[in-house]
Each structure stands twice: as structure tokens, then as C-alpha cells.
Amino acid sequence: MNYIKIFSPATVANVSCGFDVLGFALNAIGDEMVFKKTTKKGVKIKKIEGANLTCNIKKNVAGVVAIAMLNKVNADFGIEIELLKKVKPGSGLGSSASSAAGAAFAINELLGNPFTRLELTEFARTGERVACGSPIADNVAAVLYGGFILVKSYEPLEIIKLPVPEDLWVTIIHPQIEVKTEDARNALNPLVPIADAVKQSANLAGLISALYTDDYQLISRSLIDVIAEPYRKNLIPHFEEVKKAGLKNGALGIGISGSGPSIFALCKGKENAMSVAEAMKEDYQNTGIEFYIYTSKINNQGIIILDSK
């Protein structure tokens, strides 16, 4: 294979009760990325559309991942990359993860698949470190594995793919403001009171159990975040109001997507996801802040190959 074009999905990390350990991939939003082998060694980012990002391969996460992988196998060829970013940086929808994990996946294909999915997640984490200072795995693993994933352990890295209830949909509202992951991480209290740790782990266990048993009511009762949301919600204008509007219209639960400002609502069925979208839209219009709304099924596949030669 000398050429590959992929769809690399946006992701929702944390999913309220799983700070840094839970994530899922989306169908409706994702980047398109093109990778070509070149006879000249090295990595070149030829074009970036849709976002104001650097083509410097030591600073762009796709470049960082590509260099690490080509060096690892001592490749006798180079790679040229084109990015069409639809997952906006600073959106809370895993923009850097989509680029980093997309690069890991595509370059592995061009190399003839020498790496496991877990190893690709490790490469993609190096991109996350460049993007936000921490090698977080929840977004990149969701891109590479698809569906819901649990980061069972960071050292050593262990990822568990969880089941996705058939009727689970998500509505996302993306206010057009930028929240830097690094800033949202600095806003947190690094010391969690033991009572909060108990609540958070009980809800995480409840949510995972609900995914295995298709128990939508238990999903609803488990989508509570006492660790990040209380600190981060102040970075998102009108968060409480839009959350109330979505819950009133039957969302199973609502929380901050990743580090924000996007807000996700898990819903049972498409119809419910659409009416929650309507309610959130109506409410957010009062803010005067521009926003996008998406409804999506959970993407159980992860990255999709659009074309290859």
C-alpha cells in the first residue's frame, strides 16, 4: 500500500464518571486524513484545511506520531500527510486524538501492520503529550478501538473495549469558544476527597455494568461527575441551563465532553436524541454564542478506510 485516506472520528472522553479512563467514538464528526509514501525519507505535512494548525512536524501531533513510528521501524521511505480537520481544536471532541490516532493507524497500514492496536495507542499518546502536556489515552483509544473503551491501566497501558447498547445515541452541542485541555486540567482540584472518590467509582462501575446489560435507566443514574464537572462547568457559559433543558426533554444524562466546551447528552434512540437536540438548541440560542449541534450513533468501528492504493 502506498496511499491511504481515512475517516478518523471525534470522541467524547470521560463520559461524566470516567475521568481520564472512559471514552467513546462518534459517527457524525471526524477528520479526513491522507497519507502517501514518498521515496524521500522523512515526514512532511503538505496541507491542513479546516483549522489553523502548524505544519511543523515536531509540533503537529500527526507529525510527531509519524516520526516516532518511522524511526521505530527504520523505514526506508517517507510520508506526506494532508489533514482535513473537521474536529476543531479546543472543542472537547478529541481533535488532537483524531489526528494522532489517525496517523498511528494509517502509518501502520502503510508499513504492513507491524503494530498491535495497543502499541498504536501508545504511539498516539505521544501526540497527546505534545498537544496538552499529558499522554492521556481515553480519546486516542476510543478512536483506535471504536465504541466505548475503558483505560484499565496507564502503566502498563491496558485498554478494554466495552459493549455499546444498540439504541444508544448522543447529542452534542459545541459552543464556538475554545477551551484548552491544559487549562481545563489545571482548573481541577488535584486532591479528591475520599467521599467523592467513592461516588465517582460507584458511578463508573454502575455505567460499565449498564453497558453490559443494556440497562438505560442505570446508564442514566450513573452519568454523574463529582471530580471534573464542578470545576470545569464555569469555563462553559450556560452549562447548567442547557443541561437542565436536555434532561427535561428525556436525555439519559448530560456532561462535559472531554475537557469542554462541548456538552454531550446520551439518549435512548434517535427520536429522543433529536428532541434533546431541539431543546438544547432552543436554550442555547439565548446566549448569543454561536454553536453547532450534532446527533450521532455511537461509532463502534473507530477509524474507517475511505480509499487506499
CA distance 263 to 289: 14
Catalytic-labelled residue, pool 11, 80, 122, 128 = 128
Q: Is 128 an annotated catalytic residue?
A: yes
d(C-alpha 245, C-alpha 251), whole Å: 9
Cell of 101: 490516532
Q: Using the rule CB under 6 A, give the single segment among 13-21, 40-48, 82-90, 284-292 that binds ligand HSE.
A: 13-21
- Beta carbon of residue 216, minimum distance to ligand HSE (angstroms, whole number): 24
Q: Report the C-alpha gap between 75 and 67 in whole angstroms.
A: 10
Which residue lies nearer to ligand HSE by CB, 184 or 242? 184
Rounded (5°) CA angle 91-97-101: 155
Residue 138 is a binding residue for ligand HSE (CB under 6 A):
yes
N-terminal to C-terminal alpha carbon distance within the chain = 5
Binding flag, residue 243, ligand HSE (CB under 6 A): no
Work out whether 13 is an interface residue with ligand HSE (CB under 6 A).
yes
261 near ligand HSE, judged by CB under 6 A:
no
SS3 of residue 269 by DSSP? coil
Who contacts 230 (Cβ-Cβ below 8 Å, separation ≥6)? none
DSSP state of 298: B
The residue from 122, 181, 229, 295 that is catalytic is: 181
The single-letter code of the amino acid at 175 is P
User: Is 295 an annotated catalytic residue?
Assistant: no
- Which residue among 6, 8, 12, 14 contacts ligand HSE (CB under 6 A)? 14
The span from the CA of 238 to the CA of 245, in Å, is 11
The contacts of residue 249 (CB under 8 Å, 6+ apart) are: 275, 276, 278, 279
139 lines the binding site for ligand HSE (CB under 6 A): yes
Residue 83: CB minimum distance to ligand HSE, A: 18
Q: Write the single-letter amino acid at 284.
A: Y
Closer to ligand HSE at the Cβ: 15 or 75? 15
Does residue 275 belong to the site contacting ligand HSE (CB under 6 A)? no
98 binding ligand HSE? (CB under 6 A)? no
The minimum distance between CB 172 and ligand HSE, in angstroms, equals 14
Binding region for ligand HSE (CB under 6 A): 13-14, 20, 94, 136, 138-139, 181, 184-185, 228, 258-259
Residues labelled as active-site residues: 128, 181
